[in-house]
Copies of this chain bind each other. A is one copy, B any other.
């Protein structure tokens, strides 16, 4: 059966829309909301649902197919590959790792010491999750 997904797309926060779609699919698979063998919505359907351009959905799907997370099932659509769950979990933490690394580089460019950076992080963590 086709999964029912609830994504939120933000077209004005700088993150590419196709990237948002791909991330949210990965996240859904990693969290078990979407399982191996299930079909994802068709490109047209998904595009209509999210009110975005079909090309954008298509690009997200293609990227996930290249990753082996999704695979086309001839004549019926696009499905979650077997073994996708583990892969998505690792992709997710790898992605986070990259963004963390990026922030660290930027903070160091701003001449902050690692101690100061850690303090800011802990302060931010408390702020949103007291």
A: residues with CB less than 8 A from B are 8, 11-13, 15-17, 20, 23-24, 26-28, 30-31, 53, 66, 71-75, 92-93, 95-97, 99-112, 114, 117-118, 120-125, 127-129
Contacts and interface: CB of A to CB of B under 8 A. Distances in A.
A117 to B, nearest CB: 8
A74 B8 CA distance: 16
Given A97-B120, A97-B124, A104-B128, A72 B110 contact: no
Contacts of A114: 125, 129
Q: Which of A23, A73, A121, A122 neighbours the largest number of chain B CB atoms within 10 Å of its CB?
A: A121
Main secondary structure, interface of A, reads helix
A71 B11 CA distance: 11
A108 B93 contact: no
Nearest to A24: B109
Given A17-B75, A100-B117, A104-B121, 11 more contacts: A11-B74, A13-B102, A28-B111, A92-B110, A96-B107, A96-B117, A96-B120, A97-B124, A101-B128, A104-B124, A114-B125
